[in-house]
Amino acid sequence: MGSDPLSSLFVHPGDASESLLWLVPVASALVAAAICVIGLVRGRLGETLFVTGVAFLPALAFALSDVVLMERSTQTSFCTSCHLMQPVHDSTVDENDSLASIHVTRGAVPTATSCYTCHSGYGMRGTLDAKLAGTRHMLHTVLGSYELPLKHHGTYNIDSCLSCHAESSRFRSGDAQAAHLAVEESLLAGEMTCTGMCHPAAHPPEALTGEEFAR
Answer yes or no: are the C-beta atoms of 139 and 133 closer than 8 Å.
Answer: no
25 binds another protein (CB under 8 A): yes
135 binds another protein (CB under 8 A): yes
Binding segment for another protein (CB under 8 A), chosen from 33-41, 98-106, 192-200, 206-214, is 33-41
Beta bridge partners of 195: 199
Distance CA 46, CA 56 (A): 14
Distance CA 209, CA 202 (A): 14
Among 9, 16, 20, 142, binds another protein (CB under 8 A): 142
Among 1, 12, 15, 59, binds another protein (CB under 8 A): 59
77 binds another protein (CB under 8 A): yes
Contact positions with another protein (CB under 8 A) in 160-199: none
Q: Considering the complex, state which of residue 9 and residue 20 has its C-beta at the smaller distance from another protein.
A: 20
Distance CA 162, CA 158 (A): 6
Closest CA to 117 of 153, 81, 157, 74: 74
Q: Please, what's the b/e burial string for 50-86 (b: 16 or more CB within 10 A of its CB; e: otherwise)? A: eebbeeebbebbeebbeebeeeebbbbebbbebebbb
CB of 50 to another protein, least distance (A): 7
CB of 17 to another protein, least distance (A): 15
**Residues near another protein, by CB under 8 A:** 22, 25-26, 29, 32-33, 35-37, 39-40, 43-47, 50-51, 53-55, 58-59, 61-62, 65-66, 68-69, 72-73, 77-79, 81-82, 134-135, 137-138, 141-142
